[in-house]
């Protein structure tokens, strides 16, 4: 049996869209440039969209949201072919919250000492798992140990205010 087919038909589109990079991890407020490669057509134009948070420009520059609820969100960045809007490519973006700022508090906040007296200072570090600090004095009057024990000098010619500072080793 011979089957003869005739007529005109529409060829399925061979257009493909690839987005690069395919994945990205960004901090809140950060940007990432995406590029789209369109094959199967001479028309390289795409329209960009971002679903899940943030915004993207017509040139593919994605900006993560400035705040998120929780520790991270997932965003899909999509480039859609202008020549065939049924064809698109996408990238996955993970937006993570910025780490909390490191802060240091010293206790006691103020103390008056006599000549040769000592005072144990303690530092509390928040925002980091590294709670180590370095101690310093300004001006360099008396001594302070790595553990925060301050010793006033044995002799002074005038009353002096000394600032005891604990600096986080993490930040």
pTM: 0.56
- Tell which residue, 51, 57, 62, has the closest CA to residue 27: 62
Mean pLDDT of all residues in 23-39? 95
Mean pLDDT of all residues in 87-94? 96
Q: What is the mean pLDDT of the chain?
A: 90
Burial class for 67, CB neighbours closer than 10 Å (0-12, 13-18, 19+): exposed
């Amino acid at each position: 049996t011979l089957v003869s087919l005739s007529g005109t038909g529409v060829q399925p589109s061979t257009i493909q869209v690839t987005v690069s990079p395919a994945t990205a991890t960004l901090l809140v407020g950060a940007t990432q440039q995406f590029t789209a490669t369109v094959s199967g057509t001479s028309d390289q134009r795409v329209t960009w969209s971002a679903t899940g948070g943030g915004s993207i420009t017509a040139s593919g520059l994605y900006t993560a949201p400035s705040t998120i609820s929780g520790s991270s969100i997932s965003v899909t960045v999509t480039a859609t072919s202008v020549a065939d809007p049924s064809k698109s490519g996408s990238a996955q973006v993970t937006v993570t919250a910025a780490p909390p700022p490191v802060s240091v508090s010293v206790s006691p906040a103020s103390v008056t000492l006599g000549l040769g007296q000592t005072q144990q200072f303690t530092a509390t570090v928040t925002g980091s798992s590294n709670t180590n600090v370095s101690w310093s004095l300004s001006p360099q009057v008396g001594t302070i140990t790595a553990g925060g024990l301050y010793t006033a000098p044995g002799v002074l010619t005038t009353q002096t205010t000394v600032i005891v500072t604990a600096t986080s080793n993490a930040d």
